[in-house]
Structure 1
């Protein structure tokens, strides 16, 4: 469903009015609730989070946090992490173009839209305190979790670099010590067939084994209308196998060990994009469905990730606690990216990405009378490598870039909260990070179509190409990132807070360089917040945050003008500055026992204040008026209702949810054909629990109105002429491609546990 700009603006105004009206209605209902609260049996849930690396109530943490528990995600039918964006204001979590497992993450206008190796994300993803360094494989399926936390704003003091937008934390369940078994089977639209098996087995009184295995399968939402002979033609399909195994040992009441192993293999096809313009070089008109495509490359794709971690927790005494987290992870992602999405190899890029990392974190924490102290040391050693062969049919060549970026990082940090009086407290934190990077880039031009490995297509043997190293360089940076905050408890249930914090994203080399370029320096974000967290009554919760971000030294790859299209030149530098101001409001209202209303509102005004590049002669070019903040709508809104009721055949829970997302651009350089107009999603769920607690079943409908909305794209046009018509760009075609979110789907899940 497509809308015009005027319709979108009108809808935006209506929705703003609706959100204000909804808030007013809720507040008016509150007055009646105040009078009757002593008689009401309804009450707000206490939510515990670890946003500050210690267990606290959500309402006591002076950080803007959204927390989703396992039961809530089950009852809403949430199955993949990108659905979390609907519950968290000013948050973008979407599947990147080209694969089903690569993540595009933005929070408050800060993120990284290009998933190439060596680039650093602006939003950190963590699984049980282990940092996931690359976007490939980061679109995680939601199973065997206790909760997910979304921390908005820079988290540079406690979580370090690359969390300048925020952090997403996956917290898996600790074992109960009893024998447990759970199986969930799902069938749904597009021949969806999922099976999840989870359980735990006590091996002794204090030694436990846990497991979780999931196979997730679905046919494509569309198809490749033309593809190489013998290739699978499903597009937007799903074929995932994931497993996690855990050993827990409770040596005594003060000492705990946990070992985790996980592996995920995604064999879903490479994702084909929808041509927003007809090809001028071959017969590839716009398909009837946005999920249909064309490809001249193989359609297979693989994203494989694997990791291990060992966690040790030691309660030294009633005040002091020690924690160690040792982890290693690796990933392998060969992929086929058909940029032009036609039956011809106009602009095709077979590529492979690999990464591996080891990390070690030590924490020493203190909780005393009026004082809480979190401290630690962190070490990180990682390598991200890649190779791609961009075939340009018009010139009969493949432009190949390959290389690796090695990163070593060492950090120490401490953060203390001190009660100045019974009502007033302060938070002071500081982190020191030293980063060192070694970048190697090999750039070459190959005659004909090249592939990263022999056997990529039948009969292909990769030649032994000579090396052409354009970058072999090492750079290091160090940074102190502080946090200063004040918290004032107006009452036992209402807290006001204000804070200043800073975060930075690591410097990086340009893996697409065709000539020597020094590394771009780190990006810096200064964040200012004023907020309130209040359980105004036993039934009404209101959390609100006003924020301001100053973003400097933004890293961008910009094209340097060249007369020879067969030799595109790019440079990476700290060319941008931007700022952002916004509001985030989250409300929960328990109207009666079993009936709960929720809403979340996010607004942001984000814009570039400076973007500079250079021309081929090195002269400055001011691009400030041509850049916008990508993947960041001005307005997001969510409204939900949860109604639980009991019958003779068991308990039922109904969930209804509406999510609205305002207009947004997919790239910093906007194009009207790639712009996504505002849209709304309606999701409905009905879950049943048996009286004995062993059986459950859920019927879920997502995107009920079947909205079409873009989540990614490519723009390889040559811009527009004086008449506004598209000009051919790299590859000689008008390549403008869109990728889309899921259509309307239904699925039924049945679960059994004992």
Structure 2
């Protein structure tokens, strides 16, 4: 593998920086040790009294201590999530280096995820995220419903960088793994309740019991509900509210000590009201003023196909683990999932019909994975095969006022069939030096049907509930589209334990995401040809070099993880919606999907995490990350506009600092511990799209605090939690179509305001 002089210089300088850091006070904790104090921990290995517990993660599909695994991974234990009252995966982003996790625009439950500049912001059919979401090793092909509320988990792991040689689906940017608890060997009942401002009322009940020595059954039911942060002034309904119900059932059978079988099913129903944006401009023709409360709206669209907003998802999975020998384990993961969403989206957020999109999304997937894990004294590794068969379908109207009011119907159905074979193994060259090699061969096949018709008037189209609509013309009728992409992606890593507490690693990994078809494609009024529409967009690839150092000091009381990385990103898939002129009169009268492949980009960055147990009672943890992501080639109409484009959802600087003070405190005759937790986080300027706009968010800071009492036996925990204490209003997404409709659409969505919750947990 030959490197250019620039890359060689970067690696040499990075190595020098790491050596300087290793000789000083801190290093990093990508999945920081000591979950009790750090805010980042995986499962815990029992340690003698007076020493620091070690974190065990499964980042490489086998159990390893965090400081030994040559991968950038951060993990959060169930105990730490509980202490900080983390509501969902989005709330973890403030503590994660170079990571953006947020609810997509106009939704509560669709996830937008970016890691190290790689992600996918548009949740429409046909696009898979650059960040893989996994539930107990089951890959979730679509982001709908992925903003999962945290319950019934053992830990959450977040991996950064390409993960193709280790996981069923190729994940080009990283992975978020939910690891649920295995059922306890005795009857276990847990209750959790939350009361807070904005009428928050949450309840979670978990119970499990052994049926006999081999069989255990259990389940969880949960309800998460709060009122709106604002109000829809059109009908008085709440805006930014939450009304979600969830349940999970599982059965675990261990017929022999070497065979474990789990059957699990889950269902989620989100009946929150539509989340509507805040207008940043006055109405262009009506003069409607900008509302003073950023969480208020005047949106009049309330239903889609006669349904209020609703997201329902459910899935079942069967996992079989067979210990063939003490060194060899066979695993089978079979899963099926479905979701359906009715989404009334009022782009203009005004009490008039100007730009509205009632939509229906459906997704289904079946996946099967077989893998073998070997853990010998000299060789350790994982190898497997993976198959997925998925369909993503959406249909929607674009109801648009103007000189000629129209309702445009668009439907897109994307079938994905993909299979892969992968392997990743490590060989101990010496007691201190380990070499890891991996590879993956992927075949992605996509078939698509895309259809688009324009009807006159503002009452919608026949497919979306208006049978009397008058057809004007058919713009797009693309049937039986098909493409197949194949790729081999390697990984190599060298890990050296310079001392028992200093682990240096260097790695190169390549990631791949197949091409596809934009389900909103329209050749009329766009700058794409019929041939381009038939071919679809190309696959994207990334090659990442990483140099890292994992250190511990003072008997493990200080742990540090540091990494520098450099990525070559090619044919970057950038889906988006653009205003178009379909009749050639010089005025935009509709919008369509336009997915481009930006030719080349370079990404380089630095990540640092640390945990310091300064005293028995007081600890600090924190992270700082820096990323420089730039396009080198971005061709628009034959012109390279790379210097005018930015990476979206990728702030240059991010930081977090958390302090925890724990002291013994008896209460009501019971021994216990009081935990005082405070944190501050910083995120630099964030671009919402590739081109700058008023929707972009300037740098901001968030402050959180918790006071938690835990009984000595762990059966009772009570806490008071404040989040976004300075009540910062920060933008997370938006719609940018100022030239469309009579009023113009320029709206923004915001993160949660200041919230205060009281929590109580009881374990029988």
TM-score by length of 1: 0.89
1:505-544 → structure 2 map (5 Å cutoff): 505-515=513-523, 516=530, 517=533, 518-538=535-555, 539-544=557-562
Matched, 1:577 2:566: no
Aligned length: 698
Partner of 2:729 in structure 1? 708
| Alignment gaps of 5+ in structure 1 | 1-21, 29-39, 615-619, 718-728
Matched, 1:272 2:282: no
Matched, 1:238 2:238: no
Partner of 2:746 in structure 1? 736
709, 712, 715: which one aligns with 1:694: 715
696, 710, 731: which one aligns with 1:675: 696
Partner of 1:662 in structure 2? 684
1:283-362 → structure 2 map (5 Å cutoff): 283-298=287-302, 300-362=308-370
> Tell me, what secondary structure is at the counterpart of 1:625?
helix
Matched, 1:425 2:430: no
Partners of 1:192 and 1:419 in 2: how far apart?
Answer: 53
Partners of 2:286 and 2:208 in 1: how far apart?
Answer: 57
Assess, with a 3 A threshold, how the Cα gap between structure 1 residues 452 and 250 changes in structure 2: closer, same or farther. farther
1:347-386 → structure 2 map (5 Å cutoff): 347-386=355-394
Shift of residue 713, structure 1, vs aligned partner: 0.7
Tell whether the 8 Å contact from 1:470 to 1:514 is kept in structure 2 after alignment.
no
Partner of 2:37 in structure 1? none
Tell whether the 8 Å contact from 1:407 to 1:436 is kept in structure 2 after alignment.
yes
Partners of 2:462 and 2:311 in 1: how far apart?
Answer: 16
> Tell me, what secondary structure is at the counterpart of 2:554?
coil
Partners of 1:462 and 1:88 in 2: how far apart?
Answer: 52
Partner of 2:657 in structure 1? 639
Shift of residue 294, structure 1, vs aligned partner: 1.4
Tell whether the 8 Å contact from 2:372 to 2:382 is kept in structure 1 after alignment.
yes
Q: CA RMSD of the aligned region, Å?
A: 2.2
Assess, with a 3 A threshold, how the Cα gap between structure 1 residues 162 and 519 changes in structure 2: closer, same or farther. farther
Tell whether the 8 Å contact from 1:160 to 1:431 is kept in structure 2 after alignment.
no
Shift of residue 566, structure 1, vs aligned partner: 2.7
Deviations 1:589-618 (A, max 9, x none): 01122322101111001111111122xxxx
Shift of residue 26, structure 1, vs aligned partner: 5.8
Partner of 1:250 in structure 2? 254
Matched, 1:622 2:640: yes
TM-score by length of 2: 0.88
> Tell me, what secondary structure is at the counterpart of 2:105?
coil
Assess, with a 3 A threshold, how the Cα gap between structure 1 residues 43 and 634 changes in structure 2: closer, same or farther. farther
Partners of 1:160 and 1:527 in 2: how far apart?
Answer: 20
Partners of 2:493 and 2:178 in 1: how far apart?
Answer: 26
Shift of residue 25, structure 1, vs aligned partner: 10
Matched, 1:748 2:752: no
Partners of 1:326 and 1:463 in 2: how far apart?
Answer: 45
Deviations 1:222-262 (A, max 9, x none): 011224xxxx6210000000010010001111000001100
Partner of 1:12 in structure 2? none
Partners of 1:462 and 1:130 in 2: how far apart?
Answer: 44
Partners of 2:70 and 2:518 in 1: how far apart?
Answer: 37
Tell whether the 8 Å contact from 1:413 to 1:431 is kept in structure 2 after alignment.
yes
Deviations 1:393-433 (A, max 9, x none): 11211122102000000101111100111211110000001
Partners of 1:622 and 1:668 in 2: how far apart?
Answer: 14
Tell whether the 8 Å contact from 2:400 to 2:590 is kept in structure 1 after alignment.
no
| Alignment gaps of 5+ in structure 2 | 1-20, 28-47, 524-529
Partners of 2:72 and 2:543 in 1: how far apart?
Answer: 16
> Tell me, what secondary structure is at the counterpart of 1:226?
coil
Tell whether the 8 Å contact from 2:579 to 2:589 is kept in structure 1 after alignment.
no
Partners of 1:704 and 1:640 in 2: how far apart?
Answer: 15
Which deviates more, 190-199 or 505-514? 505-514
> Tell me, what secondary structure is at the counterpart of 1:83?
helix
Matched, 1:171 2:179: yes
Partners of 1:581 and 1:138 in 2: how far apart?
Answer: 28
Assess, with a 3 A threshold, how the Cα gap between structure 1 residues 189 and 551 changes in structure 2: closer, same or farther. same
Partners of 2:744 and 2:469 in 1: how far apart?
Answer: 32
